[in-house]
Amino acid sequence: MLLKTMVYKKQDLTTVTENNTLAEALQILEDSGFRCVPILDESGKIFRGNIYKMHIYRHKANGGDMSLPVTNLLKNATKFIHINSSFFQVFFTIKELPYIAVLDEDNYFYGILTHSSLLNMLSQSWNVDKGSYVLTIASTGKQGDLANMTKIISKYSNIASCITLDIDKDEFIRRTMITLASNTTKQTLDSVISHLESKDFKVVEIENLADHA
C-alpha cells in the first residue's frame, strides 16, 4: 500500500515534545484547534504517543498539576504503522483513533494517516467518477462464484471496481458489489442482470451513480 501520498508529513503537523508541560500542551491544542496531537521526543524523531485535550481538561478539573510533563497523560504509545504497512494492518490499527502515527524505515516518526484520508481512499475504490451502476449481487460464496460473476459481466461491460462483503458473517450468503463502467447503458444493465440471475446469482440492489452526481 502506497501510504506516502496519503500521509500528512511531520513538517506540516502540530506536535508537542515529551518535555512540554500539560499547560503548554493544552495551549498548543487550543491554538491549533485539534483534539489531540502527537508527542515526540526532544529530537523530533521518535514517536512517544498522543496527547488528548479531553484528558488534560479532566486532569485540570480534578485539581491535577499542570506543570507535569505531557507524558503523564500519554496515550496510544503502541498505536502506529510503518510507511510500508499493508492495507489490513492500517485498517485494523486505526480503528477508533482520529489518526494513526506513521513511522519510516528507520522507525522514525514520518507523519500521520487520518481517518478521513483512509475513508477518501476507500471511497475512490468505488470509482464513482468512472462508474455508472453499482450492483449488489448475492451468492452462496462457493468457490468460483466471483470468477463466474465477473465472467458474465465482462461479456457486456467493463468492471470499474469490485468489493466483497459479509466474509465470515453468514455461512451461506455473500454480497459482492460490482461497479459497472461509466458508458454502461440501461439496456446493457438489464442484459447483465438477466444473465446473472439466469445463473442463480441474485441482484439484490441496483444503485445508479448518476443520482449522486
Domain ranges, ordered by start, for the chain:
3-121, 126-212
Largest CA distance in the chain: 72
Residue appearing with cell numbers 504503522: 81
Instruction: Please state, as a whole number, how many other Cβ atoms lie within 10 Å of the Cβ of residue 58.
Output: 12
Question: Which own/partner pairs from 39-43 qualify as long-range (CB within 8 Å, at least 24 positions apart)?
Answer: 39/15, 39/70, 39/71, 39/74, 40/15, 40/16, 40/109, 41/17, 42/17, 42/18
Query: pLDDT tens per residue, the chain (213 residues)?
Result: 457 788 999 999 999 999 999 999 999 999 999 999 999 999 999 999 999 999 999 999 999 999 999 999 999 999 999 998 877 778 778 878 889 999 999 999 999 999 888 877 776 666 666 778 999 999 887 889 999 999 999 999 999 888 887 655 545 678 898 999 988 999 999 999 999 999 999 999 998 887 765
Domains 3-121 and 126-212 belong to one CATH topology: no
Regarding beta strands 131-139 and 174-181, do their DSSP bridges make them parallel or antiparallel, or are they unpaired? antiparallel
pLDDT of residue 140: 84
Q: Burial code of 157-192, b = ≥16 C-beta within 10 A, e = fewer? A: beebbbebeeeeeeeeebbbbbbbbbebeeebbebb
**CATH code of the region 126-212:** 3.30.70.260
pTM of the full predicted structure? Answer: 0.70
Q: With contact defined as beta carbons under 8 Å apart, do 159 and 184 qualify?
A: no
**Rounded to an integer, what distance in angstroms lies between the CA atom of residue 212 and that of residue 179?**
14
- Which region, left, alpha or beta, applies to residue 95 given φ > 0 means left and ψ of -120 to 50 means alpha? left
**CATH code of the region 3-121:** 3.10.580.10
pLDDT of residue 213: 57
